[in-house]
Amino acid sequence: MKIGIIGTGNMGRTLGVRWAGAGHDVWFGARDLAKARAAAQLAGAPARAGSLDEAAAFGEVILYTVRGVAPAQLLRDPRQLDGKIVIDCNNTDYQPATGEFDPPPVPSYAEQLASAAPAARVVQAFSTVPHRVLELPRAQLAPRRISVFLCSDDDAAKPTVARLAEELGFVAVDSGTLRRARFVDGLVDFIRFQIATMGRGPFTTISLDGVPEHA
C-alpha cells in the first residue's frame, strides 16, 4: 500500500517507519525536508522523503499528524486528499509544569479535519497509543492485545485502517462514527493521567476485551 505521512514528529516518524518495515511504500512529507529525509533514512529503502504535497499526492492512505491545522493551510492543493483514507492521530497537549491537560476540542480534531476536507475519508485512530509503544516490535505487542480505536463516518474505510493497525500487532476496535472521537479523546486523557500523574510511564496502554460468559 502507498502511505503518505503528513508531518514527521513522533507519531508520523514512528508509524511510517513501522509501516515501511511491514512492507508498505511510505513517503514522508514535512515542511522541514531534513526531518523528512531523516525519517526516510530510519525506515530504509524504498521509503522516500519530500514535501507535504508530494506525500499527499503519493499516498492511497494518508497519516495526518499536524494537529488542528486544515489541509488548505498546509497543502498547495488540498484536493489531493479527496477520496483518500486520511488517518487523524492527533490529541491535545499535556502541560508538565501544571500537571494538567489541555481540554479536548469540540468538535474533535478528527471532526475538524473531516469538515475541512469533506471529500476525504477521515478515520481517527492511534490517538490512544503512545509513540514509545508504537515503536515496539509486533512480537512484543501482539500478546498484549492493545486496542486501537477507530472512529469514522465511512464504514468502508475502517477495515483498511484496522488492517494497518493489526499488521503492527494491535487490535482494532470499531468505535462508531466520527462524533464518537470525543469519547476516545477523554480516554486519551485518562491514559496520559496514568502515565504522567500516576507514574506508570510512557509504555502505558489500554486493552478493551471481554470476559467469556462460559469458562
All domains in the chain, ordered by first residue:
2-196 (3.40.50.720)
- Mean pLDDT for 106-110 is 96
- Rounded to the nearest integer, the mean pLDDT of the chain is 95
Spell out the SS3 assignment of 87-130.
EECCCCCEECCCCEECCCCCCCHHHHHHHHCCCCEEEECCCCCC
Give the pLDDT confidence score for residue 36 in this predicted structure.
98
- Residue 179 CA: distances (Å) to CA of 103, 124, 150, 175: 16, 10, 11, 10
Give the pLDDT confidence score for residue 96 in this predicted structure.
61
- Which DSSP helix (H) or strand (E) runs through 1? none
Q: Which of 211, 196, 202, 182 is nearest to 95 (CA)?
A: 196
This prediction's pTM: 0.95
- Residue 126 has a CB neighbour count (10 Å cut-off) of 28
Q: Which of 54-68, 87-101, 177-191, 194-208 has the lowest mean pLDDT?
A: 87-101
Residue 159, phi then psi, degrees to nearest 5:
-60, -35
The tens digit of pLDDT for each residue in 35-56 reads 999 999 999 999 999 999 999 9
Give the pLDDT confidence score for residue 84 in this predicted structure.
98
Give the pLDDT confidence score for residue 103 in this predicted structure.
82
Give the pLDDT confidence score for residue 104 in this predicted structure.
87
pLDDT at position 30 over 90? yes
Distance between CA atoms of residues 61 and 55, nearest Å: 10
- Mean pLDDT for 118-125 is 98
pLDDT at position 97 over 70? no
pLDDT at position 95 over 70? no
